[in-house]
Amino acid sequence: MSVFLKKYLAEKVALQKMAGSLNRLSSVLAKSTIDLNPYQIHAALYAFNSPLSRGAILADEVGLGKTIEAGIIISQLWAEGKRKILILAPASLRKQWQDELLSKFGIESEVWDGPSFRAQTDMGEKTPLTYSGVFIISYHFAYSHLELIRKQGWAVVVIDEAHRFRRVFKGRDASKMAYDIREIIKDKPKVLLTATPLQNSLEELYGIASFIDDKLLGSSYSFKTKFIQPIKDQSGLAKLRLEELRALIRGEEGDDPSSISGVITRTLRKQVLEYVQFTDRTSMTFDFTPTEEEVELYEKVSAYLQRPNVAAITATQRNLMILVYRKLLASSSFAIADTLKKLSENLKNELKLRNKEAVAEELNPESTADEGLLEEFEESELEGVEQGQKKEKQRVDDTFSDDDIKKEIEELEGYYSLAVKIKENTKGKALINALSQLFKQAREKKWPEKAVVFTESTRTQDYLLKLLKEAGISFTEFNGSNNSPEAREAFNRWKKEFPEAASVGSASANTRQALIHDFRTNTQVLLTTEAGAEGLNLQFANIVINYDLPWNPQRVEQRIGRCHRYGQKHQVVVANFLNTKNYADKRVLELLSEKLNLFNGLFGSSDEILGALESGLDFEKKILEIYQNSRSPEEYDKAFTELQESLKDVISKTTLQYRNLLLESADQAVAALFKKTEAETKKAISDFDRDLLFLCKLTLEEKIKPTEDEAIFVIDGYKFPIAFRELRDDEEGKISRAHKDHPVISKIIEDNLKLQTKPIPSLIFELSKHGGKISQLSDAKVKEGFIFLWKLKIAGVETEEILVPLVFLEKTEGEFSALDVAIANEFIDVESVDSEKTLESSPIKKEFLLQTWEKWKKPVVERYQKRNERLFDRETNRINRYYDDYALRVEDRMKKSENEQKDVNRRRDNSSDLEERRKLLKRIQDINIALDKLRIQQLKLRQEGAKLREKELDNLWKTLEPKISEEMIAITHFTIQ
């Protein structure tokens, strides 16, 4: 088939598109399994369009899928060969990122923490982060490896939950981690994700914006002087300053793809109701009354943990381990029993060691915990324990005598005996009863009978599995290891049903997918630990049961968010359990439910409250303090009331007004923009699919065969059908989606890019079969001519390639006229067949060909240069603004001193007291000396600023100067029928 058309189509689909163009994303969007929501695509384009590719802050409200927006950006960079990407996220969200990238975009990634990093390097393997890949790490890991991260050439650094770094504006002393991380990624492109970019003050917005561009809003001092003070004082400048600030951070308003964006874009939930269906959430509380034995165990162990010091828990781990043991105690008697046994064994080993009857061993506090529970803690906390272990052998404090230790062993063994005598937990029975009621409600409302049950302990999980089995309730077990025989069976079933999906990805990721599929299709309950469920999309279930209730509100929100998320079709029911004999537990549930509103409404806890709590760890520690220090209901009431008071007015009305004015756009304008983006996205993907299919048909000929579905084809030698359209849910994992990186299609593109049109081939265009009329061709007397295919490449701030068919139609023998390029693009899509005719050369004169090319090229290059001029002006203003204020702090001090000088001079002139005049004269001399020093400082700063300004402007000019290359890459003769 036609060499020319194959070359043309291969070049067309492989073109490097402009940053703001939807065509740039068409292949990535086709490859992904995401819904094509226009607001998410717009956010990705906004980031790509950032000045000098610095990046952007994506600040959509909670629930709108900022992870997907970042995923589109990552996927596009990956497709362009920019394959060194870093993601910084809270430790609890790392797995979610890994799962989302794999399931939605087919991108594998690596999660690294302290222990895995050390294990890799200790084995002499290549150092993580130094090679190509997508790396997901926690903030604390980044803070521990600053120099390693600084040295890498990242294509982009993504920071999730970026509001945690908002205090960076206070300087390094106030926020060392945020400050140091900002410094090491200063010159890297960045994408920051946060639903709360502005929480308490405008300085926070300055802090987050400084991650993207540290000069846009000036220095910290000049920002306070120019913006904060006038706005705070509500002076005549306030409105003007707010408008100026909005223009700086939002960029050019409008939907022109060549418009220059600012640093932040924000979409509200109310603006996307047409695209996203949000469902409600409600809560149910199931009371249970523990047996006397259970109460006795709880009270005795609780009193033991409340002691200021115990031999079994060393000081370096006390806070973390007390928290762990309290969680185990609240979970089940089975969870705490093994811990009590191990604590007493550790103390027995200490006695043997003191009597030299045993080899020295370090006490390992983590061995007394629980696999499911330890996995959920922030890496920073566990590393704190680890560092404590390194500094000193973990031995019992010398202040505890042998008799003290023996007495404590006796106590712990007594608690253990009490725990193992308890064969059933009342809360376990309450769970079975709750499931019965909830499933009955589900049947009545025609909901799926599916519940996700969370526990913080793998030991409790084992107990609950037995209860579910005895009750005849089908279940899928899910945790950090997923290595049970049932898990292997589920994987084998899934592999048989989804061979295409099973052929890629890691074993652990595929096992997770298999277990979720098992829950979706076969079982009623997913019984999971905290860490096990990270990153799961469970919107097909709408019942969430907190068997153990975390004290960290963000963990509660993450649990509910597994089901209450994009794609949920039903109301989500959140079930909690309340121990009627435990007053503290009652107050915690009230706090999470009523004050934080985690369990009810469209979105549960507001963005403001969760944003204010930041990591949630401090909140959790405050609750632990209450449990540790309170003894009576009155003491609990007082402590919880104080905690509630601290949560009042987490965001002021004034701050909300600033947020609305600075960050949000008019609903009507946003709606129009999203409509346009939606239409353009559909067209871009449709055109891309059409070109890919046409290229495959031309190349493979009889080897590609249609199926009953006209958009799905079978290719000889490839085991899976390929769809040249969006896949339906029931097709995913069974059918391949056509895209540029597909192994078959990428080879086709690669081979056809190498084609040469020598000798010149000939095509017959069947214009009579074309649906629309092309008058310039239909009315032509001579029905033949030539097509010259040109490629223009403009490289500057960004690189763009443009494919241009120049069509020359023969008017009379030897005389040719050029078609308009828009008509030429339409003509080249007309159905055609090969002609046997070939030519050695074209009769078109070279001068005429080049003249036609230059005529087309000139306005295109001018448009590019015009955009660069706008960008140059914006960047020049930014640089000038920054350096104009370079000495502002000193100049303000000078003004203050000069005003004082005038005042002292006036007082001296008006004074008749000789002694007072002498003192005032001395003060004037001191002021003059200070002013001289300030003037020297001012001069030095101005000279320093002038040099830096000149250097930056020179670099800017070099960066913006476009490099233009052009090439005529193919030619064909044609006739028209």
Rounded to two decimals, the pTM is 0.78
**Pairwise CA distance, residues 206 & 680, whole Å:** 34
Q: Residue 292: pLDDT band by 50, 70, 90 thresholds? A: very high
Q: Are 739 and 858 contained in the same domain?
A: no
The answer to whether 761 and 838 have CB atoms below 8 angstroms apart is yes
CA distance 697 to 703: 8
Residue 816's pLDDT is what? 87
- State the pLDDT at residue 351: 85
Check whether residue 828 and residue 792 sit in a common domain: yes
Q: Which CATH number fits the domain that encloses residue 100?
A: 3.40.50.10810
Please state the rounded mean pLDDT for residues 642-650: 72
Q: Which two tokens stand for residue 603?
A: 């979105």
Nearest to 745 by CA among 774, 711, 715: 715
What amino acid occupies position 566?
Y
Tokens 């290719």 appear where?
Answer: 715
pLDDT of residue 565: 81
User: Nearest to residue 528, comparing CAs of 488, 476, 563, 575?
Assistant: 476
Tally of domains in the chain = 3
Q: Which residues contact 1 (CB under 8 A, 6 or more apart)?
A: 698, 699, 701, 834
Residues 162 and 239 in one domain: yes
797 and 735, same structural domain?
no
Number of separate helices (H) and strands (E) present in the chain: 37, 23
Q: Report CA-CA distances (Å) from 181 to 128, 173, 626, 645.
A: 18, 14, 34, 33
**Model pLDDT, residue 659:** 72
pLDDT digit string (tens) for 272-287? Answer: 888 887 788 889 999 9
Report CA 765 to chain centroid distance, whole Å.
Answer: 49
Instruction: Output the CA–CA distances (angstroms, integers) from residue 227 to 221, 231, 235, 276, 654, in the order listed.
Output: 10, 6, 11, 37, 15
Last residue of a domain, one of 604, 639, 665: 665
Q: What pLDDT score does 519 carry?
A: 94
Distance in angstroms (rounded) separating the CA atoms of residues 16 and 44: 17
pLDDT of residue 383: 44
Is 494 within a domain? no
The pLDDT of 336-365, averaged and rounded, is 76
| Whether residue 797 is found in the same domain as residue 687 | no
Query: Strands of 110-111's sheet, edge to edge?
Result: 110-111, 133-138, 84-89, 156-159, 190-193, 55-58, 264-265
pLDDT > 50? residue 237: yes
pLDDT at residue 728 is higher than 90: no
Read off the pLDDT of each residue in 252-263 and give the average, rounded to a whole number: 66
What is residue 273's predicted lDDT score, i.e. its pLDDT? Answer: 83
Decide: residue 585, CB within 10 A, 0-12 exposed, 13-18 middle, 19+ buried: middle
185 and 71 housed in the same domain: yes
CB 621 within 8 A of CB 380: no
Query: What is the structure's pLDDT at 881?
Result: 84
At 772-787, the pLDDT tens digits run 666 666 666 667 889 9
Q: Could you tell me if residue 123 is inside a domain? A: yes
Span 765-774, pLDDT tens digits: 887 776 666 6
The H or E element containing residue 916 is helix 914-960
- Going by C-alpha positions, the residue among 303, 325, 314, 315 that lies closest to residue 373 is 325
The better pLDDT of the pair 357, 489 is held by 489
Per-residue confidence (pLDDT) for residue 885, from 0 to 100: 84
**Are 762 and 751 part of one and the same domain?**
no
pLDDT band at 388 (very low <50, low <70, confident <90, very high): very low
Chain Cα centroid distance, residue 774: 48
Contacts 24+ apart (CB under 8 A), 340-344: 340/301, 340/412, 340/413, 340/415, 340/416, 340/419, 341/412, 341/416, 342/367, 342/368, 343/312, 343/313, 343/368, 343/412, 344/312, 344/409, 344/412, 344/413, 344/416
CB count in 10 Å sphere of residue 836: 6
- The verdict on 257 and 175 lying in the same domain is yes
- Return d(Cα 37, Cα 66) in angstroms, integer: 12
960 pLDDT higher than 70: yes
- Which pLDDT belongs to residue 650? 56
Per residue in 421-479, pLDDT tens? 999 999 999 999 999 999 999 999 999 999 999 998 889 999 999 999 999 999 999 98
Single residue among 755, 789, 804 that ends a domain in this structure: 755
Q: Is the dihedral of CA 649, 556, 611, 69 positive or negative?
A: negative
Bridge partners, residue 284, by sequence: 575
Residue pair 805/825 in contact (Cβ under 8 Å)? The answer is yes
pLDDT tens by residue, 132-176: 999 999 898 999 999 999 999 999 999 998 888 888 887 777 788
DSSP state of 310: B
Residue whose structure tokens are 């959140």: 574
* pLDDT range class, residue 805, cuts 50, 70, 90: very high
Mean predicted confidence (pLDDT) in 566-593:
89
557 belongs to a structural domain: no
pLDDT score, position 428? 95
Residue range 17-37: average pLDDT?
81
255 has pLDDT over 60:
no
Name the domain boundary from 610, 632, 665. Answer: 665
> How long, in residues, is the chain?
977
Q: pLDDT tier at 382 (50, 70, 90 boundaries)?
A: very low
**What average pLDDT does this structure show over 960-971?**
90
Same structural domain, 194 and 76: yes
Please state, for a pLDDT cut of 90, what percent of the chain lies above it: 30
| Per-residue pLDDT reduced to its tens digit, 884-938 | 888 888 888 899 999 989 998 998 888 888 888 888 889 999 999 999 999 998 8
Whole-number pLDDT of residue 391: 41
Are the beta carbons of 85 and 135 closer than 8 angstroms? yes
Q: And the tokens for 406? A: 């023996």
176 in a domain, yes or no? yes
Greatest extent of the chain over all pairs of C-alpha atoms, in Å:
115
Within a domain: 54: yes
Structural contact between residues 89 and 97, judged by C-beta atoms closer than 8 angstroms: yes
Note the pLDDT of residue 710.
84
Task: State the Cα–Cα distance between residues 210 and 186, nearest whole angstrom.
Answer: 9
Angle, CA 703 vertex, CA 702 and CA 706 arms, to 5°: 80
* pLDDT of the residue at 612: 59
The answer on pLDDT for 573 being more than 90 is: yes
Nearest to 603 by CA among 639, 566, 632: 566
Residues 6+ apart with CB under 8 A from 541: 448, 450, 451, 452, 519, 526, 563
Its domain, for residue 56, covers: 35-276+660-665
- Which stretch of DSSP H or E encloses residue 514? helix 507-521
φ and ψ of 504, to 5 deg: -130, 170
DSSP-based three-state secondary structure for 368: helix
Mean pLDDT of 737-762: 91
Q: Considering only CA atoms, which of 166, 196, 157, 130 is closest in space to residue 56?
A: 157
Same domain, 715 and 814: no
Is 349 a member of any domain?
A: no
Residue 649 has pLDDT above 60, yes or no: no
Check pLDDT > 70 for residue 78: yes
What is the C-alpha separation between 795 and 791, in angstroms, rounded? 13
Tokens of 597: 């509103």
User: Which has the minimum average pLDDT: 312-316, 815-819, 837-841?
Assistant: 312-316
The angle formed by the CA atoms of residues 541, 545 and 548, to the nearest 5 degrees, is 145
pLDDT of residue 468: 95
Strands 712-715 and 784-795 come out as unpaired
pLDDT category of residue 69 using cuts at 50, 70 and 90? very high
- Residues 318 and 338: their CA atoms lie apart, in Å, by 19
Distance, in Å, from the CA atom of 486 to the CA atom of 458, rounded to the nearest integer, reads 16
**β-strands 963-976, 784-795 pairing:** antiparallel
Residue 172 within any structural domain of the chain: yes
When pLDDT is cut at 50, 70 and 90, the band that residue 217 belongs to is confident
At residue 782, the pLDDT reads: 61
Coil, strand or helix at 836: strand
**Residues 742 and 785 both lie in one domain:** no
- pLDDT tens digits, residue range 845-869? 899 999 999 999 999 998 888 888 8
Residue 88 tokens read as 């910084």
Q: 379: part of which helix (H) or strand (E)? A: helix 379-391
The pLDDT of residue 541? 94
Question: Torsion-angle region of residue 131: left (phi > 0), alpha (psi -120 to 50) or beta?
Answer: beta
Q: Is 884 within the bounds of a domain?
A: yes
**Per-residue model confidence (pLDDT) at position 308:** 86
User: Contact, 406 vs 348, CB < 8 A?
Assistant: no
Average pLDDT, the chain: 84
Q: Confidence band (pLDDT; 50, 70, 90) for 709?
A: confident
**CB 527 within 8 Å of CB 501:** no
Sign of CA dihedral 350, 352, 353, 358: negative
549 φ/ψ angles, rounded to the nearest 5 degrees = -100, 115
Instruction: State the DSSP H helix or E strand holding residue 528, giving kind and residue range, or none if neither.
Output: strand 525-529
Poorest-pLDDT segment among 301-305, 387-391, 549-553, 645-649 = 387-391
Distances (CA, A) of 354 to 395, 891, 932: 10, 69, 71
> Residue 535 and residue 665: Cα distance in Å, rounded?
31
107 within 8 A of 156, measured Cβ to Cβ: no
Q: What are phi and psi of 701, to 5 degrees?
A: 50, -115
Residues 732 and 806 in one domain: no
| 379 HSE (CA, 13 A, CB side) | 22
Q: CB count, 10 Å around CB of 565?
A: 17
Query: What is the amino acid identity at position 119?
Result: A
Take residue 524 and report the two structure tokens written for it.
């009623």
Distance CA 739, CA 79 (A): 11
Among 320-324, 361-365, 811-815, 893-897, the range scoring the smallest mean pLDDT is 361-365
Query: Which secondary structure element, helix H or strand E, spans residue 826, and what is its range?
Result: helix 821-827
- Average pLDDT for residues 661-690, to the nearest whole number? 83
Mean pLDDT: which of 223-232, 271-280, 466-475, 492-501 is highest? 466-475
pLDDT value of residue 390: 41
